[in-house]
Amino acid sequence: MQETQTKYSPDYNDYPAFTDDPEMLAAANEHSGFVGSKIPVDKLIGKQIVFVDFVVTPSQYRRFGDSVTKVQIIVDGEKHIFFTQSKNITKTLQVFKDKLPRVGTLIKDDRALKIK
Q: What is the pLDDT of residue 67?
A: 87
| Per-residue pLDDT band at 27 (split at 50, 70, 90) | low
81: burial class by Cβ within 10 Å (0-12, 13-18, 19+)? middle
Residue 64 confidence (pLDDT): 66
Q: Please state the pTM of the whole predicted model.
A: 0.68
In the chain, pLDDT over 70 holds for what percent of residues? 83
Q: What is the pLDDT of residues 1-14, one digit of tens each?
A: 555 666 666 677 77
pLDDT of residue 52: 93
| Residue-wise pLDDT tens digits, 35-47 | 888 999 999 999 9
Residue 2, SS3? coil
* Dihedral sign from CA coordinates of 74, 71, 100, 113: negative
- Of 52-61, 67-76, 82-91, which range is least confident? 52-61
Is 27 or 114 the better-scoring residue by pLDDT?
A: 114
* Contact between 52 and 39 (Cβ < 8 Å): no
What local confidence, expressed as pLDDT, does residue 18 receive?
Answer: 76
